[in-house]
Chain A
Amino acid sequence: MIEQLAGSWNYIIVVILMMTGLFIVIARANLVKKMIGLSIFQTSVFIFYISLGKMANGTAPILDGNPDTLYSNPLPHVLILTAIVVGVATTALGLALILRINEAFGSVEEDEIIAAKASQSLARPQRPTSEAAE
């Protein structure tokens, strides 16, 4: 039992991180915290992929002429390099939107934004108005 757990150690971490991230995305009302949760969630998937490619005792896949050398699978690493770029773009865009939301609504808390929505929307979000509202 313990051995089995130790053997799939990475995957247990992946599941814990995945659930943590998803929980934060769903349960937190703060928009910035939601982005943090999303990043944790995505990172867990990165670890999942990299664990898939790892061979026990495998080394970096650079040919050394020895037929007995075990190589790790490089493909998941390359895929995750792409996924990381996508993740960075997602986070950057999310944070930029939060910045604009803060300017327009004067808050990054979801419940306060929903309360503000009930009142009439602004013609154009302007910095001074939102600061005056605080």
Chain B
Amino acid sequence: MMGTAILTNLPALLVVVPLLLAPFSAVLPIAGLAWVLALVGTGISFLAALMLQSVTENGVRISYHLGNWEPPWGIEFVVDSASSLTLVVMSGLGFLATLAARRLVAIEIADKDSGKFYAAWLLVVGGLFGLVMTADAFNLFVFLEISALASVILIGMGAGTDRRALVAGYHYLVIGAVGATFYVIGVGFIYAITGTLNMGDMASRLPDAAGGAALYVGFGFMVAGMLVKAAIFPVHIWLPAAYGYAPSAVSTLLAAIATKAALYVLARIFFTIFAGTPEIVDIALSNIIVPLAVGGIFVGTIMAIYEADIKKMFAHSSVAQIGYIALGLALATPAGISAGFIHIGNHALIKGGIFMAIGGFVAALGTRASLETITGIGRRMPITATAFLICGLSLAGLPLTAGFISKLYLVRAILETNSYVILALVLISSALSVVYLWKVMEVMWMQPAPARSPKLVENPAIYLPLWMVALGNIWFGIDAGWIVGAARLAATALLGGGA
């Protein structure tokens, strides 16, 4: 009885559990207990997401009515193959990031703030899950802001070690709020045309509604708003500073899961809400999103090459990787979208691992990680540095790593559409990404550490979760069957009028 009640309410629990645990965490005076709460919250979410994924594996679509209100009036949560894959990736990496957070937070955040830190952490996670599941266009805005405001708090907490975190947080707040408001304007227009906020209803009413200019304006505002949140070039400018100055644990969490949710929502705007008006979606994708994605790939990669601060370097690289995901989704073919989903998963593994390793370096060094300070660290911290190397190779797309699978499927999807210019650009940018990775690896492994450098201690609380992620990179590089199959189902669910 109890069991079925839990099972039928899984979609709601995924959001409710982290959100409910947050206030308890905020008032807990002991940092360790607050961490346990966060771990329990993300762990339960991970289990729930796995269960949802196993249910939706065969193309089943769960429609959950919050408070038992029928969809046009009440808010609906939809879990299909596409959202459940995104949820599994996000909750899994969220759980691992929480595991690694204990030690990183103990070093960088004052003990009295730890409870509030984990409260904001749980709010980010819960908000992002809601963002992925909700089928109500306005409810989506609320979840968007829950997670955005909580991530601003987390970024700002980096002020304990670097005051520039405050400015980075402020900029993210302002740019993010403008983006979210753009989205709300767009929803207003579409609501005016269709008279509904439910995404499925919007999709079915839009083709018949004589929208005219309002349709274009609404579509444009919704997409523009989500572009900001997904950090797609040229509205990515908040990202490098925000990830660069945030506390290490926060960089790990945000880099692994935050922009993924926004990218998923973007895909749903294109392929669910506006499924009935494919002409404007096609124009927007091929004339705007594809060039922006390619632009982001190059800008991110080139900025990363010229960056000396390691955290900011990989934040710039995130902009490029988001470009790859957006490019895959924007191809709008089943192969392209599944390539996008594969890279959503693999990039979460890659960047989660990289930022965790950087956190390990920062924790041991006690200073910011720059090309100068990590000289020769390969020999001083072999366990962390080896995991970093694996994630770095995966980022470059070396065979037998997860990154290779992403690149392989993306290239195949581009070949299918016969766009050889884009293919050439993607391959050139991949080669360029080796430049900044080589710069880091060369400094870490081939140069000797400065003389009289103190011995560095590696903490298992950081490198154990890090190695789980690193091994994940190898595992999904060798046996990619699960993610490829799930991504293919996700693409089918999304394109097949998934709502």
B191 to chain A, nearest CB (A): 7
- The residue that A97 contacts in the complex, of B142, B152, B164, B184, with Cβ under 8 A, is B152
B173 with A83: CB separation less than 8 A: no
- Which residues 397-417 of B sit at the A interface, judged by CB distance below 8 A? none
- The residue that A82 contacts in the complex, of B142, B152, B161, with Cβ under 8 A, is B142
Majority SS of interface residues in chain B? helix
B164 surroundings in chain A (CB, below 8 A):
117, 121
B138 with A79: CB separation less than 8 A: yes
Contact A117/B159 with A52-B192, A86-B142 known, Cβ cut-off 8 Å:
no
List the count of A-B residue pairs having beta carbons below 8 Å apart. 83
Q: Does B160 contact A (CB under 8 A)?
A: yes
Q: Does A31 contact B (CB under 8 A)?
A: yes
- The residue that A89 contacts in the complex, of B145, B166, B169, with Cβ under 8 A, is B145
B188 with A97: CB separation less than 8 A: no
B177 surroundings in chain A (CB, below 8 A):
38, 42, 90, 94
For the complex of A and B, the 3 pairs showing the least CB-CB separation, nearest first, are A104-B163, A86-B145, A97-B170
A125 with B173: CB separation less than 8 A: no
Q: Does B107 contact A (CB under 8 A)?
A: no
B94 surroundings in chain A (CB, below 8 A):
none
Residue of B149, B163, B167 most packed against chain A (CB within 10 A)? B163
A45 with B188: CB separation less than 8 A: yes
Contact mask for chain B residues 146-174; partner A; CB cutoff 8 A; 1 contact, 0 none: 00010011001001111110110110011
Q: Does A19 contact B (CB under 8 A)?
A: no
Chain B residues at the A interface, C-beta cutoff of 8 Å = 138, 141-142, 145, 149, 152-153, 156, 159-164, 166-167, 169-170, 173-174, 177-178, 180-181, 184-185, 188, 191-192, 197
B173 with A93: CB separation less than 8 A: yes
B156 surroundings in chain A (CB, below 8 A):
97, 100
What residue in chain B is nearest A108 (Cβ atoms)?
B170
B107 to chain A, nearest CB (A): 13
- The residue that A48 contacts in the complex, of B161, B188, B197, with Cβ under 8 A, is B188
Contact mask for chain A residues 57-93; partner B; CB cutoff 8 A; 1 contact, 0 none: 0000000000000000001100100110010011001
- The residue that A25 contacts in the complex, of B138, B169, B178, with Cβ under 8 A, is B178
Cα A31 to Cα B174 with chains together (Å): 10
A90 surroundings in chain B (CB, below 8 A):
145, 149, 173, 177
Contact A122/B185 with A38-B177, A89-B145, A97-B169 known, Cβ cut-off 8 Å:
no
Chain A residues at the B interface, C-beta cutoff of 8 Å = 22, 25, 31, 34-35, 38, 41-42, 45, 48-49, 52, 75-76, 79, 82-83, 86, 89-90, 93-94, 97-98, 100-101, 104-105, 113, 117, 121-125
What residue in chain B is nearest A99 (Cβ atoms)?
B166
Majority SS of interface residues in chain A? helix
A45 surroundings in chain B (CB, below 8 A):
181, 184-185, 188
11 new A-B contacts at CB < 8 Å, known A52-B191, A93-B173, A104-B159:
A22-B178, A42-B177, A42-B181, A45-B185, A89-B145, A90-B173, A94-B173, A97-B152, A97-B166, A100-B159, A104-B166
B255 to chain A, nearest CB (A): 21
Cα A97 to Cα B163 with chains together (Å): 11
Contact A41/B145 with A83-B184, A101-B170 known, Cβ cut-off 8 Å:
no
Cα A100 to Cα B164 with chains together (Å): 11
Contact A124/B191 with A90-B145, A101-B167 known, Cβ cut-off 8 Å:
no
What residue in chain A is nearest B184 (Cβ atoms)?
A45
Contact A48/B185 with A79-B138, A94-B174, A97-B173 known, Cβ cut-off 8 Å:
yes
- The residue that B174 contacts in the complex, of A25, A48, A100, A124, with Cβ under 8 A, is A25
B142 surroundings in chain A (CB, below 8 A):
82, 86
B123 to chain A, nearest CB (A): 11
A-B residue pairs in contact (CB < 8 Å), sample of 24: A22-B178, A25-B178, A38-B174, A41-B178, A42-B177, A45-B184, A45-B188, A48-B185, A76-B188, A83-B141, A83-B184, A86-B141, A86-B142, A89-B145, A89-B149, A90-B177, A93-B149, A94-B174, A97-B152, A97-B166, A97-B173, A100-B159, A117-B167, A121-B163
A89 surroundings in chain B (CB, below 8 A):
145, 149
A85 to chain B, nearest CB (A): 9
B191 surroundings in chain A (CB, below 8 A):
52, 76
A123 to chain B, nearest CB (A): 7
Cα A25 to Cα B166 with chains together (Å): 18
What residue in chain B is nearest A41 (Cβ atoms)?
B181
